[in-house]
Amino acid sequence: MDLSSIGGYIRQYRVAANMSQDKLAECSGVSSKHIGVLERSERSPSLETLIRIANALNISADMLLCDVLETEVGIKQTMLSKKIGNLSREQQRDIIDVVDLLVQQQENKG
């Protein structure tokens, strides 16, 4: 099982939360050096560390694990829905139109 994507998600959500590695380390009770090691995917976090980091980032653990869970598509759909929900109605409609087109293309292939 390839767990290397977890580090990238830790970095992505840390940056989105406007947190430094030092701040995330402080909030999650691990060293900033360890945060760097995790973000570079040099090591995978223990379950306890993963939970601490998810709590510090105020996200669910599945958001960090979405590429390695068998339910990844459902998780990514939820994440996409949240992202779209933060946009204006007009932007949401534009994205839905694009998705509808892509779905139609896939159905026509099938």
- CATH for 40: 1.10.260.40
Residues 82, 105 within the same domain = yes
Residues 11, 39 within the same domain = yes
Give the model's pLDDT for residue 1.
63
In this predicted model, what pLDDT tens digit does every residue of 41-94 receive, in sequence order?
999 999 999 999 999 999 989 889 988 877 767 777 887 888 899 899 999 999
What's the total number of domains in the chain?
2
Give CA–CA dist 59/78, Å, rounded.
13
Supply the range of the domain harboring residue 95: 72-109
pTM listed for this prediction: 0.68
Residues 9, 60 within the same domain = yes
Percent over 70 (pLDDT), the chain: 98
* pLDDT range class, residue 97, cuts 50, 70, 90: very high
In this structure, what DSSP letter does residue 43 have?
S
Count other C-beta atoms under 10 Å from residue 76's C-beta. Answer: 13
